[in-house]
Amino acid sequence: MKIDIYIPNAIIFVYDYDNSQVEIPAYIETELVSYNDTCISIATLPDVEGKATIELSKNMANKDIKAIMVFKGTIETPNKNVVVSTSEEEGVLKALVNDIQTNVSVWVDDTEFPRKIFIHCE
């Protein structure tokens, strides 16, 4: 699944949308990615600079990604879904997953203001 979108506040979040225990990770100005056990935040291209492309995938085996991995870890997914949302809590992409713990990796085209963000969950 892929979307081209203007991203308000230049940040997106990855988490289980139905998890009432989600905590947004503390923002660290010098870091592209912040995370905790329930959520990952990813800084992006500011919306005034144009649209960003976000791709959420469960299978990256055949992908030819020319990008840099900026995160690899696990988040809690008690409701077995992973959603990418904006800072306005608008879910823009969703994937169903098989377990209550999901491995996630995040890849970007630029480590300062990424225009392309690839999120792999398994």
The predicted structure's pLDDT at residue 62: 55
Judge contact between 45 and 54, C-beta under 8 A. no
The secondary structure of the chain, three-state, reads CEEEECCHHHEEEEECCCCCCCCCCCCCCCCCEEECCCEEEEECCCHHHCCEEEEEECCCCCCCCCCEEEEEEEEECCCCEEEEEECCCCEEEEEECCCCEEEEEEEECCCCCCCEEEEEEC
The predicted structure's pLDDT at residue 116: 96
Structural domains in the chain, sorted by start: 2-121 (2.60.34.30)
The string of pLDDT tens digits covering residues 13-54 is 999 999 999 999 998 889 999 999 999 999 999 999 999 999
The string of pLDDT tens digits covering residues 56-90 is 998 765 566 689 999 999 999 999 999 999 999 88
- pTM, whole model, 2 decimals? 0.94
The predicted structure's pLDDT at residue 16: 98
